[in-house]
């Protein structure tokens, strides 16, 4: 099982150090954290893999606000999230740019957590399967790549896909792409054990619940059951 904490735009360097001083990942589960870019250096070298939340495809260039794979590697970052739904929704990320970011990161030696998932409107229109097929088709195959299924309607809303819905989506994704698939979408200590017990779910991409030591530790422990 792999449990990844996506801190989004929370926790500067001081708060990152405070969290890592208090957090002791349980043995037997793979755990990594994805702090914001300003906190990556503060997190590296403190006992667990650190991933960025985004990465550009080019090694360098006139791309204001972006960070290259080689820059992440230089500070000790081991990988990056790519194509999170918030990047798609707010910053114009497309299937093509997701593919380019994945390829650039993987070619440089980084790991990747590539995100896919449908919006509420797409699910209500019966388009979940076609959306997942399109998004997964854009993602390269690689031993360092993991997929995360995040139903967009369940991110930051408190809604969670039922274990059955999550299982069905994960089974489809695994048919399309032979890799580990994490579930992301309002994962909390209260629902983690039931979600992570589904045979097609290989871990969790945790948002808000990863910001608190106790709740993130509880989710990590749930991955062991």
Strand ranges (DSSP E) for the chain? 2-6, 30-34, 51-52, 79-82, 111-116, 145-149, 181-183, 203-206
- What 3-state class would DSSP assign to 125? coil
Respond yes or no: is residue 177 known to be catalytic: no
Residue with tokens 């992301």: 184
Residues near 71 by beta carbon (within 8 Å), at least 6 away in sequence: none
Respond yes or no: is residue 74 known to be catalytic: no
Q: Which of 56, 84, 170, 177 is catalytic?
A: 84
The bridge status of strand 145-149 relative to strand 111-116 is parallel
Q: Which of 86, 122, 150, 177 is catalytic?
A: 150
CA distance 223 to 216: 11
Residues near 18 by beta carbon (within 8 Å), at least 6 away in sequence: none
Q: Which residues are catalytic?
A: 84, 150
């Amino acid at each position: 099982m792999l449990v990844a904490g996506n801190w989004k735009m929370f926790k500067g360097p001081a708060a990152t150090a405070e969290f890592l001083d208090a957090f002791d990942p349980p043995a037997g589960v793979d755990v990594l954290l994805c702090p914001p870019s300003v906190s990556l250096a503060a997190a590296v070298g403190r006992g667990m893999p650190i991933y960025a939340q985004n990465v550009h495809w080019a090694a360098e260039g006139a791309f204001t606000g972006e960070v290259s794979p080689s820059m992440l590697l230089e500070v000790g970052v081991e990988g990056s999230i790519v194509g999170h739904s918030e990047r798609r929704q707010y910053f114009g990320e497309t299937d093509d740019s997701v593919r380019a970011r994945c390829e650039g990161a993987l070619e440089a030696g980084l790991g990747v957590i590539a995100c896919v998932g449908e919006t509420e409107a797409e699910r209500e229109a019966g388009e979940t399967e076609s959306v997942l097929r399109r998004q997964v088709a854009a993602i390269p195959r690689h031993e360092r790549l993991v997929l995360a299924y995040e139903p967009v309607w369940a991110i930051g809303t408190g809604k969670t896909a039922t274990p059955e819905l999550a299982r069905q989506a994960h089974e489809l994704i695994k048919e399309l792409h032979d890799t580990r698939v994490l579930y992301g979408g309002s994962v909390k200590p209260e629902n983690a054990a039931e979600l992570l017990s589904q045979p097609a779910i290989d871990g969790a991409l945790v948002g808000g619940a990863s910001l608190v030591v106790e709740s993130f530790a509880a989710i990590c422990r749930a991955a062991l059951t």
